[in-house]
């Protein structure tokens, strides 16, 4: 059973889900991408995943929507997240692109929608107006929970200070080589749940000898040990894989526990900013 975590807006979220970045190695909104995504997400849903993480910029929302529709799983048992594309920060575009997202996902209401990147050097540095537009969607009833992604402490302080509305979630890069304490601590201080993106460091952490040692002692795989480390830290995770055996493995992380020594050993792998594998949110300014 996958536990749910409470969010600061009174809703809940399954602590483990399925990531869909590059599940089909194709970010175009093509039928090929839609079919490939639908097949992989359909496998994940069939295996017991109930939380799917997608984004406007992944080009695969239609594939997720097709898999969800075909699954026959009751809507209330599913949790679907999408994220605002970097080219859609103007308030009118927030609303228009959100309508497209609902349409492609074949949903009447989305569970969680995030500002994907703060883009502080674009849109005159005004991610606050964008945040207001996203929170309007909750008032309209088309969105259950509003959150952000890749927000640094100063970005959180600013949206909260200027709107009084605290995001429920901050989705940030976190894995053993990049603990990202600065953004994690700031999120926790505001009561914002941390979602860890690239929880396996896109596979880069999995050959680490410390993880091998713990995996051997626990009779688990390094990926399961890393995911368990996240779970015990209270992070929400959604590892991505295109392999069914790994999908099953990544789900099977609730029947064992890491000791305090094992948690500390994994904490000790942190490389600080040098461990970051994705872009720096303070400078990232990419519009696809
Ligand atoms: N908000 C943001 O800015 C971002 C959000 N995300 C979200 O986070 C999700 C997860 O992050 P992602 O970047 O995909 O990386 P992950 O950390 O989930 O790692 C995925 C990689 O690990 C491999 N892998 C997965 N499971 C296993 C396993 N059990 N054993 C060995 N290798 C494994 C996969 O290979 P294979 O597929 O071949 O099995 C793939 O190469 C994304 O899919 C996306 O939804 C990601 C980046 C940025
Ligand atoms: O995957 C995501 O969610 C991201 O935001 C990034 O990976 C982004 O799409 C990208 O490709 C950065 O170069």
Q: What is the ipTM of this complex?
A: 0.98
Q: How confident is the model at residue 27, as a pLDDT?
A: 84
Q: Please choose from 47, 63, 200 the residue to mutate so as to test ligand 1's pocket, defined by most ligand atoms within 8 A of CB.
A: 200
49, 58, 127, 177: the catalytic one is 58
Rounded to the nearest angstrom, the distance between the alpha carbon of 204 and the centre of ligand 1 is 10
Give the pLDDT band (50/70/90) at residue 70: very high
CATH 2.60.40.10 applies to domain 4-271: no
Catalytic status, residue 127: no
Q: How confident is the model at residue 26, as a pLDDT?
A: 82
Q: How confident is the model at residue 25, as a pLDDT?
A: 82
Question: Which atom of ligand 1 lies closest to the CA of 224?
Answer: 29
- What lines the ligand 2 site, CB under 6 Å? 21, 55, 57, 116, 278-279, 286
Q: Is 235 annotated as a binding residue?
A: no
Q: Model confidence over 266-286: pLDDT tens digits?
A: 999 999 999 999 999 999 999
Q: How confident is the model at residue 32, as a pLDDT?
A: 92
> Tokens 């959100």 correspond to what residue?
98
- What lines the ligand 1 site, CB under 6 Å? 19-21, 53, 116, 149-150, 171, 197-203, 206, 223, 238-243, 246, 249-250, 278
- Over residues 20-26, the mean pLDDT reads 91
Domain boundaries, the chain: 4-271
- Over residues 189-195, the mean pLDDT reads 99
Rounded to the nearest angstrom, the distance between the alpha carbon of 241 and the centre of ligand 1 is 6
- Over residues 97-103, the mean pLDDT reads 98
- Over residues 116-139, the mean pLDDT reads 98
Q: Is the pLDDT of residue 48 over 90?
A: yes
* Phi, psi of 167, deg, nearest 5: -60, 150
């Amino acid at each position: 059973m996958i536990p749910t975590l409470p969010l600061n807006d009174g809703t809940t979220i399954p602590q483990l889900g399925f990531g869909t970045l590059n599940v089909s190695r194709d970010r175009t909104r093509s039928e090929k991408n839609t079919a490939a995504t639908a097949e992989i997400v359909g496998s994940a849903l069939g295996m017991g995943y109930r939380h799917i993480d997608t984004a406007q910029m992944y080009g695969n929302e239609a594939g997720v929507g097709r898999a969800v529709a075909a699954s026959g799983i009751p809507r209330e048992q599913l949790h679907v997240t999408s994220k605002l594309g970097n080219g859609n920060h103007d308030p009118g575009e927030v609303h228009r692109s959100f309508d497209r997202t609902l349409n492609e996902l074949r949903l009447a209401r989305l569970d969680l929608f995030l500002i994907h990147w703060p883009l502080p050097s674009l849109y005159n540095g005004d991610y606050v107006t964008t945040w207001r537009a996203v929170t309007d969607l909750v008032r309209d009833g088309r969105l259950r929970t509003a959150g952000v992604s890749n927000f640094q402490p100063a970005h959180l302080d600013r949206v909260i200070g200027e709107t009084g509305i605290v995001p429920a979630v901050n989705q940030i890069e976190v894995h053993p080589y990049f603990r990202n304490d600065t953004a994690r601590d700031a999120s926790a201080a505001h009561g914002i749940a941390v979602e860890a993106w690239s929880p396996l460091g896109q596979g880069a952490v999995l050959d680490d000898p410390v993880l091998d040692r713990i995996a051997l002692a626990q009779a688990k795989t390094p990926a399961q040990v890393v995911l368990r480390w996240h779970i015990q830290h209270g992070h929400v995770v959604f590892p991505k894989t295109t392999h069914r055996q790994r999908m099953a493995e990544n789900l099977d992380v609730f029947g064992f526990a890491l000791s305090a020594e094992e948690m500390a050993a994994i904490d000790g792998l942190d490389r600080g900013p040098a461990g970051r594998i994705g872009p720096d949110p303070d400078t990232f300014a990419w519009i696809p």
